Structure 1
Amino acid sequence: MDYINAFWVGGLICALVQILMEKTKMMPGRIMVLLVCTGAALGAIGVYAPFQEYAGAGASVPLLGFGNTLWKGVKEAVETEGFLGIFKGGFQASAVGICAALVFAYLASLIFQPKMKK
């Protein structure tokens, strides 16, 4: 049942974002920022943890999950280190994912040819 919940919740998030892209004039970058901020806000008010418990990877993998991870990292760092935790908590919590994205993007740039002509 965990796989089914992850599939339909993740699909619903993607479908809602696709509708947002089609029906508004928002640029994709702004929609991505909106998703990250929404995930952080839902984490701050305590709604995201039960949602993630129910949906599993369907809630933790999309950008909503990234925003929630940033929020949790900042919250923990502020509790342990005070004001400076605001600036480094999010980076510590999401460092593995950011490094993996950078490494795989670099490898993809070595493998694939660019589509743009100079």
Structure 2
Amino acid sequence: MMEYVRAFLAGGLVCALAQLAIDRGKWTPAGVAAALVILGVLLGFSGVYDRFAAWAGAGATMPLSGFGYFLAKGVMVEPRPSGLVETGAAVFRFAGALFAFIVAGSFFAALICKPKG
């Protein structure tokens, strides 16, 4: 039961901080999204996000910072990518399921939701 509470608190904290950056910091939503991905990559390479993800579980991996973490993890898992194409392939090998879920989820959300127009 506590892992659900930790996931909720961690994910909620990340999302609340992002919303504060939009509301109070006058950041654009796209800027906050990019900052979260970049932060996830940087913290993933430094090893800090590993400890956070171990504690928070899905609460750390579901926000956009978790997406950046998975991108960094894909590069770190590959033994020694020797070029841009191999580095990109390493990212997709590790985070391919996440990409597929995002594309499929977006597709079905577009089918269900009615656009404003």
> Which TM class, normalised by the smaller chain length?
0.7 to 0.9
- Max Rg structure: 1
Deviations 1:16-65 (A, max 9, x none): 11111101222111110100110110011111111111111111111111
Q: Is 1:98–2:93 an aligned residue pair?
A: no
* CA 1:113–1:11: 2 relative to 1, 3 Å: closer
Equivalence for 1:7: 8
Instruction: Give me the TM-score of the superposition, normalised by structure 2.
Output: 0.87
2:81–2:90 contact (8 Å) kept in structure 1: no
1:74–1:85 contact (8 Å) kept in structure 2: no
CA positional deviation for 1:80: 4.3
Unaligned runs of 5+ in 1: none
Distance 1:51 1:108 in 2: 30
Distance 1:112 1:9 in 2: 28
Instruction: Give me the TM-score of the superposition, normalised by structure 1.
Output: 0.86
The one-letter code matched in structure 1 to 2:108 is: L
* CA 1:15–1:113: 2 relative to 1, 3 Å: closer
Matches within 5 A, 1:1-118: 1-77=2-78, 79-83=79-83, 84-116=85-117
CA positional deviation for 1:93: 1.9
The one-letter code matched in structure 2 to 1:82 is: S
Unaligned runs of 5+ in 2: none
Distance 2:15 2:111 in 1: 29
Deviations 1:57-93 (A, max 9, x none): 111111111101000101223x244334322222222
Distance 2:22 2:112 in 1: 30
CA positional deviation for 1:4: 1.2
Please, what is the CA RMSD of the aligned residues?
1.6
Aligned residues: 115
2:39–2:68 contact (8 Å) kept in structure 1: yes
In percent, how many aligned pairs have the same letter? Answer: 37
The one-letter code matched in structure 2 to 1:37 is: I
* CA 1:111–1:51: 2 relative to 1, 3 Å: closer
